A and B are shown apart, each in its own frame.
Chain A
Amino acid sequence: MKKVIALILVCTLLLSLCACAGTQKTGKTKVGFIFLHDENSTYDLNFINAAKAACEALKVEPILKTNIPEGQECYNAAAELVDAGCIVVFADSFGHEDYMIQAAKEFPKVQFCHATGTKAHTEGLSNYHNAFAAIYEGRYLAGIAAGMKLNEMIEAGKFTADDAKIGYVGAFTYAEVISGYTSFFLGARSVCPTVTMEVTFTGSWYDETAEKEGANKLIANGCKLISQHADSMGAPTACETAGVPNVSYNGSTISAAPNTYIVSSRIDWTPYFKYAIQNTMDNKAFEADWTGTIATGSVVLTEINEKVAAAGTADAIKAAREQLIAGTLHVFDTSTFTVDGQTLTSYMADIDTDAAYTGDTEVIKDGYFQESVYRSAPAFDLKIDGITLLDTAF
């Protein structure tokens, strides 16, 4: 009995202490962010930096929740951010989506924005939004840098044009990753016509060992250049050790690979964060499905590492970038790739996600695959000729 009384007393004491701790209020508008990992992940770091920049610019207070798994914890985190007074809550991982929808249904007065998700345009909730950027255009530009590096190595006699093979470490086998490596490959092939590519999958967004091993395996398979769509420093580190050039993603990895890093494409989330926060503060409705572009400043490349990049890379990227903006160049131009030896004339993509992956929207129009047009999240999930997939059953 004494123990019980003691425990009750202790609890009361603790609760009164928190009451004191909880009283400090700044009066600033609060914005919540949910991240799958923390700043050790290049993907999350890219988001964290953008979140801080956007909040700084709009003079609002960010509350960051890191290491939130794709489960009930995500709902709990979102609900706690609402309790803390956030007017808008962002989440950054594909698997957070269902839990964000759950929270959006429960808290209709708070805006919920989910990056990379696919369901907002069919869910019909006024306070639930998806966002992504046309990052395939950035990947394409980064691919040009890769192709030029291969050309330089071919000219230097390091290998023949037929041996020009790129390795790519991917996380999962769905559209977001497929669209990424295909656009990267098409960018490389636009300058180095003989290039082929091998893709390995890790089955995880962040698995440093698996990513490193994946890159090592590709290098052992004869890949002359490596790129990746997974979020650790695994692949860049393996490249640096093996002396193989690397085109990165999510941000510069030059710190881990000063002698092999060429360039990185990344999404700058700051414009979207500003857009969503500003509209929420002004009580204005905003798009359920938002796509960032080169023009909005959402699709960017990091500074080129001139020490490694081939001569003229910057100019070639600049020229292609202008064509993309002008609309004279399309990444998924059907005349530049084949699927099973055939040029694509029609493809029904699964834009409105359902469990059976039923194709519902014709996406080949005007001679190119309309990526990020019918929804922000990538939908390109075709396996084009020239790319070999390894380890798809991760």
Chain B
Amino acid sequence: MSKQKAPLIYISKRKDLPWYGAWGIRGGAIILALVVCAVVTTLLTGENPLGVYAKMLEGAFGTPRKIWVLLQNTAILLCVSLALTPAFRMRFWNIGGEGQILVGGLAAAACMILLGDKLPNALLICVMTVASIAAGALWGFIPAVCKAKWNTNETLFTLMMNYVAIQLVAFFVIVWEVPKGAGKIGIINQSTESGWLPQLFGQKYLLNIIIVAILTVLVYIYLNYTKHGYEISVVGESERTARYVGIKVDRVIIRTMILSGALCGVAGLLLVGGTDHTITTTVADGRGFTAVMVAWLAKFNPPAMIFASFLLAFLDRGAGEISTAFGLNHSFSDILTGLILFFIIGSEFFISYRISFRKHASSALPAAQPPLINPSEKNGKEE
């Protein structure tokens, strides 16, 4: 009689995990990540890992200024993540955030340079806002139309639009560079500050943070409590169902991508008009891609995105401090960030799936539950 050997490991879908269970797993993952990072740190650099962690915290929270910068970075990242979310909920993989931010920023910079001495400041800022939103929306609209009309691959299309945007910015940097040949624009309107978004209560970053906080609430309401938001969810679940119930799928795709691009345009406006006051090809700093991770980590849920973007901004700032404090190469802090993210993302698997081990070598499986085995083993292979 042939007897199948039970596999060593079973993976099965969890039915439901209480909230404390899920957070327990996440907490465990973070602790495990910190332990692995500690081992790596000690092995590679000989530094005391506790000192390294203390420096990370110091880098993120050490002074009021550092906390403001952390909140600013969180806000911008959150803004981009919010922008991607409506598209992602619709299963439209917009990875063109980078380009949408850049064209938004480029539009703002163009207004600042060309209209800086022609319009009163309040009007200029209004023009910049409209221009940035329109530019970002256009960058979302183009791939959406192609998807809706000809079913093009939106992932590739939005990705390629990033490069178009980068080259556009590179071109205009050369047009507006000071001095000629230097390949940089420098701070725009440094003496007149025209087109600079106003500072609230003397804080450089407060306005950005407040704007993004309001956007978070609006996007949350839009996605969860409006007809549009519902349509997005239905299209995301199944386009056929959406068509069957009479939703105009093409229109939803285009409308949602215009919104997605427009919000990225806002991020560009906040970066160029609010903080950097210049435009470079790196002004988005990879946020269009980091935001993809934030959106996934938070399962497309705006309140959870606050935490996810805060975590990523914290890791980035903390990691930067490590390289300063210990004279380590910046790559080392990237390694630590990578390790921590690996564990955090990995923990989601353990929240969704249960892993059980074979209890005894002799214990065979109950016949009712076919194990996950190779087809070759199925063919009556003898042990």
B-binding residues in A (CB < 8 A): 7, 14-15, 17-18, 20-22, 38-40, 63-67, 69-72, 76, 79-80, 83, 94-95, 97-99, 101-102, 118, 171-175, 177-178, 203-204, 350, 353, 355, 357, 381, 393-394
Contact = CB atoms under 8 A, between A and B. Distances in A.
Interface residues of B, number: 38
B278 interface: yes
A242 to B, nearest CB: 28
A18 B283 CA distance: 30
B327 A64 contact: yes
A187 B178 CA distance: 29
A355 B180 CA distance: 8
Nearest to B333: A67
Given A66-B323, A174-B179, A71 B329 contact: no
B371 interface: no
A102 B180 contact: no
A350 B179 contact: yes
A71 B283 contact: yes
A393 B323 contact: no
B181 A172 contact: yes
Interface string B288-326: 000000000000000000010000000000001001100
B13 interface: no
Contacts of A7: 307
B190 interface: yes
Contact of A98 (B54, B183, B187, B324): B187
B187 A203 contact: no
Interface of B: 51, 54-55, 57-58, 61-63, 65-66, 69, 170, 174, 178-184, 186-187, 190, 275-278, 280, 282-283, 285, 307, 320, 323-324, 327, 329-330
A14 B179 contact: no
Contact of B182 (A20, A71, A172, A394): A172
Given A70-B280, A71-B282, A172-B181, A63 B57 contact: no
B21 to A, nearest CB: 14
Contacts of B187: 98-99, 102
Nearest to B67: A15
A67 B285 CA distance: 13
B62 A18 contact: yes
A178 B180 CA distance: 12
Nearest to B170: A203
Given A38-B330, A353-B178, A63 B324 contact: yes
